[in-house]
Amino acid sequence: MRLGFAVGVLAAVGYGLVLALDFPHGSRLFPLAIGIPTMILAAVEVGRQAVRRRRRAPGEVDPPAEGVPAVSRTPVAWTYALIAGAFLFGVEWVAPLFIFAYLKLMARWSIIKAVASAAAYYLVITTLSGALGLRIPPGWFSG
Amino acid sequence: MTDIVQAIPGALAEVFQLSNLGFLVFGVVVGLAVGAVPGIGGFSAMALLLPFSFTMEPQAAIGMMLGIAAASTISDTAPAILFGVPGSAAAQATVLDGHALARKGEAARALGASYSAAMLGGLFGAGFLLLAIPVARVLVKAFGSPELFALGLIGVAMTGSLSGNAPLKGLAAGGLGLLLGMIGFDQVTGSLRWTFGSLYLYDGLPLVVVALGLFGIPELLQLMHGGERISGGDNPTIGSILEGIKDTFRNWFLVIRTSAIGVFTGTVPGLGGAVVDWFAYGHALQTEKGAHETFGKGDIRGVIGVDAAANAKDGGGLLPTLFFGVPGSTVTALLLTVFLVHGIQPGPALATTGVELTLAIVFSLVIANVLGGSIMLILGKSIAKISLVPIHIVSPIVIALIVFASVQATANPRDLLVLGVFGLVGAVMKDTGWPRPPLLVGFILSPILERYYFISTQRYGYSWLLRPWVVVALSISVFVVVGAIRQLRKVRRRASEVAA
């Protein structure tokens, strides 16, 4: 993953630099002044990681930098299901539904407690939005 | 000076008038409540109450607004410490050591230190404003665009020191952040950069969403994967809160230094809350003994330094607002609106003929900080107990709050796409040892640096590079980078000695 991420940064910066060449003169000064050294740094990091990888024993995997991984299947699936659902159908309804489903399935709460928690969240958010004049945008499909 | 002393009784009488004090207390309570909700911050509450303030007495309106502004930056550290989710831009750096302390079972100590440091920082800021009254004009005029650009460069250089033991990755991440900050409409030439034809990207990526994605999502993903509770410690006690307060007083010199950084950063229009915490964190990391080994792993000094600076900046931010009519942030812009609506003309005259009003503002700031800090310290034990709740109960609510906070940025569902992308990028950076703070600092500083560079070059050609303060600031930038590399070498040498 370390090498992959370094390559990703290098590719993103490189692609950005190629696009920046078409900017008007005044607009490309800063992107190039920052982008070129950044690309060099990213390339050095790719080289370092490639060397590390070559020296590693076959089948050996880098442990997460902090011991416990941030990228793991179940938490990522739940979190991105919420983000995708909120994007498509709107936060207002998807978030309480997510809270209910998570508390029921992961925390193994009773249906009544899970529904009450989701309802409490909905009430707090709608009250806060009403009081502070905050906007809750509809989703991609519901808008 | 005598006119200031003579104006003190009148200013105190104005502030302590029952209705004025009542609105100030109301502002503090509202500020504490909204500050604790991630992504909302004091600005929303101030914007909502702005129309009501127009019909109020001037001092009552100013007191209420100052109460919200000061108190919201005290309570915004609670979600940062407990869940690793910054309550506002000024609480981003609190996540690093505050959340690490909470996970070690020291949430109450971290909260005690955070609130007491914030209170002292706020008092420092108010004190600075008081002392600045006679010299306000000279102070603000000393800094033009070249100096502000050079100051921004110090911030970028500091990314090297915010990178733990990976300065190379830190600088690359800082560069990436600077590039991401250039996305959108180029204010200098009027052309579009990296918008890919999307209207949404014309205004650039929203800072709140980028920050929540980089810091909020990865911390929660890690918590959900890991233990049963945020903290493995015992029930928080009053003793732990008191220990945190003692920590703040033990590190009094750090509080003073970082408060000074906060005040100074607050005076610079455009810098303000989003970077003040990183400047303070970088300074503490570079100057505190053994910080390179312990910062980021739950060092109380990382919390104290950051939160003192974050609150001290309010006093600094009021300096250009009051004496030059130049608001340094959105919050001070709202305050400026209140002044203008009530017929108060900001300018150097406030340092002479309007000294009573200026003093009333200083005293309001003092009261807001003491009151806000005290309320949070009293509630600290109860707040810390949240860290003992099983993570499967807390996490869905916090994630739902992050998602809700994200769509407040531009009220566009695309904010969620940005949240998703930066959440994943942040999580991968966390797992692969890439430091995230430099990316965020670069992202924030990018438009500021470019704007000041453009103005400096247009006005002075390249002669501005030789201005004394610019030379000093550029030297500090070099010193910061070299210092970070030397520190890294020292740490590695020590590690290899221990291994041998």
Average pLDDT over all residues of chain B: 83
**Cα–Cα distance for residue pair B468/B263, rounded to 1 Å:** 21
Confidence of residue B442 (pLDDT cuts 50, 70, 90): confident
Q: Using the beta-carbon criterion (under 8 Å), do B221 and A76 form an inter-chain contact?
A: yes
Q: Using the beta-carbon criterion (under 8 Å), do A82 and B400 form an inter-chain contact?
A: yes
Of B143-152, B187-196, B347-356, where does mean pLDDT reach its minimum?
B347-356
**Cα–Cα distance for residue pair B65/B42, rounded to 1 Å:** 9
| Digit-coded pLDDT (tens) for B311-357 | 888 888 888 778 777 666 767 777 877 887 788 877 767 766 777 88
Q: What percentage of chain B has pLDDT greater than the value 70?
A: 87
Q: How confident is the model at residue B500, as a pLDDT?
A: 63
Strand intervals (E) in B3-90: none
B residues 69-98 closer than 8 Å to A (CB): none
Q: Using the beta-carbon criterion (under 8 Å), do A86 and B403 form an inter-chain contact?
A: yes
| Closest by Cβ to A9, choosing from B176, B416, B419 | B176
Residue of B nearest to A73 (CA): B225
Q: Residue B489 is encoded by which pair of tokens?
A: 């070498």
Residue B378: count other Cβ atoms within 10 Å of its Cβ.
Answer: 12
Averaged pLDDT, B187-205: 89
Q: How confident is the model at residue B286, as a pLDDT?
A: 82
Residues of chain A with Cβ-Cβ distance to B431 below 8 Å are 1, 64-66, 69-71
Please measure the distance between the N-terminal and C-terminal CA atoms of chain A and give it in whole angstroms: 38
Q: How confident is the model at residue A94, as a pLDDT?
A: 93
Q: Residue B343 is encoded by which pair of tokens?
A: 């017929």
Residue of A nearest to B184 (CA): A27
Question: Is B271 a residue whose pLDDT tops 70?
Answer: no
Averaged pLDDT, B29-37: 82
**Is B176:B442 a contact under the CB 8 Å cutoff?**
yes
Q: Using the beta-carbon criterion (under 8 Å), do B393 and A107 form an inter-chain contact?
A: yes
* Of B290, B317, B300, the residue nearest B246 (C-alpha): B300
* Of B441, B447, B445, the residue nearest B211 (C-alpha): B441
Confidence of residue B76 (pLDDT cuts 50, 70, 90): confident
**What is the helix (H) or strand (E) element at residue B185, kind and residue range?**
strand B184-185
B residues 409-438 closer than 8 Å to A (CB): 411-414, 416-417, 419-420, 423-424, 426-434
- Find which of A32, A73, A79 to mutate to test the B interface (most B CBs within 10 Å of its CB): A79
Averaged pLDDT, B212-218: 86
Q: How confident is the model at residue B332, as a pLDDT?
A: 78
| Of A119 and B440, more confident | A119
Name the residue type at position A97. Answer: L
- Find which of A17, A38, A121 to mutate to test the B interface (most B CBs within 10 Å of its CB): A38
Residues of chain A with Cβ-Cβ distance to B182 below 8 Å are 30-31, 34
Q: Residue B100 is encoded by which pair of tokens?
A: 């690490």
Q: Are strands B184-185 and B192-193 parallel, antiparallel or unpaired?
A: antiparallel
Q: Using the beta-carbon criterion (under 8 Å), do B413 and A138 form an inter-chain contact?
A: yes
Q: How confident is the model at residue B279, as a pLDDT?
A: 84
Residue of A nearest to B49 (CA): A132
**Chain A nearest CA to B250, separation (Å):** 30
Averaged pLDDT, B127-141: 75
**Is B275:B441 a contact under the CB 8 Å cutoff?**
yes
Q: How confident is the model at residue B121, as a pLDDT?
A: 92
Q: Using the beta-carbon criterion (under 8 Å), do B222 and A82 form an inter-chain contact?
A: no
| Digit-coded pLDDT (tens) for A20-50 | 999 988 888 889 999 999 999 999 999 988 9
Residues of chain A with Cβ-Cβ distance to B171 below 8 Å are 41
Q: Residue B436 is encoded by which pair of tokens?
A: 């995230």
**Is B85:B94 a contact under the CB 8 Å cutoff?**
no
Ranked by mean pLDDT, the top range of A79-88, A132-141, B87-96 is A79-88
| Closest by Cβ to A71, choosing from B395, B412, B427 | B427
**Cα–Cα distance for residue pair B95/B75, rounded to 1 Å:** 13
B residues 259-298 closer than 8 Å to A (CB): none
Q: Using the beta-carbon criterion (under 8 Å), do A30 and B182 form an inter-chain contact?
A: yes
**Is B299:B86 a contact under the CB 8 Å cutoff?**
no
Question: Is B161 a residue whose pLDDT tops 70?
Answer: no
Confidence of residue B360 (pLDDT cuts 50, 70, 90): confident
Query: Which distant-in-sequence residues (6+ apart) come within 8 Å of B296 by Cβ?
Result: B96, B97, B100, B164, B302
Q: Whole-model pTM?
A: 0.78
**Chain B nearest CA to A89, separation (Å):** 9
Would you call B45 an interface residue with chain A, using a CB distance cutoff of 8 Å? yes
Would you call B31 an interface residue with chain A, using a CB distance cutoff of 8 Å? no
Q: How confident is the model at residue B495, as a pLDDT?
A: 63
| Closest by Cβ to B191, choosing from A24, A38, A65 | A24
Residue recorded with tokens 């009552």: B60
Residues of chain B with Cβ-Cβ distance to A132 below 8 Å are 34, 40, 44-45, 48
Q: Using the beta-carbon criterion (under 8 Å), do A70 and B45 form an inter-chain contact?
A: no
Q: How confident is the model at residue A85, as a pLDDT?
A: 94
Residues of chain A with Cβ-Cβ distance to B40 below 8 Å are 128, 132, 134
**Cα–Cα distance for residue pair B114/B376, rounded to 1 Å:** 10
**Chain A nearest CA to B401, separation (Å):** 9
Q: Using the beta-carbon criterion (under 8 Å), do A86 and B416 form an inter-chain contact?
A: yes
CA dihedral B70→B74→B79→B82, nearest 10 degrees, is 180
Residue B417: count other Cβ atoms within 10 Å of its Cβ.
Answer: 17
Q: Using the beta-carbon criterion (under 8 Å), do B188 and A38 form an inter-chain contact?
A: no
Q: How confident is the model at residue B277, as a pLDDT?
A: 83
Residues of chain B with Cβ-Cβ distance to A91 below 8 Å are 403-404, 407, 416
Q: Provide the ipTM.
A: 0.93
Q: How confident is the model at residue B179, as a pLDDT?
A: 95
Averaged pLDDT, B8-30: 89
Q: Using the beta-carbon criterion (under 8 Å), do B44 and A143 form an inter-chain contact?
A: no
Q: Cα–Cα–Cα angle for B307, B389, B31, nearest 5°? A: 35
Question: Is B1 a residue whose pLDDT tops 70?
Answer: no
Confidence of residue B426 (pLDDT cuts 50, 70, 90): very high
| Closest by Cβ to A45, choosing from B168, B220, B419 | B168
**Chain B nearest CA to A35, separation (Å):** 7
**Is B193:B175 a contact under the CB 8 Å cutoff?**
no
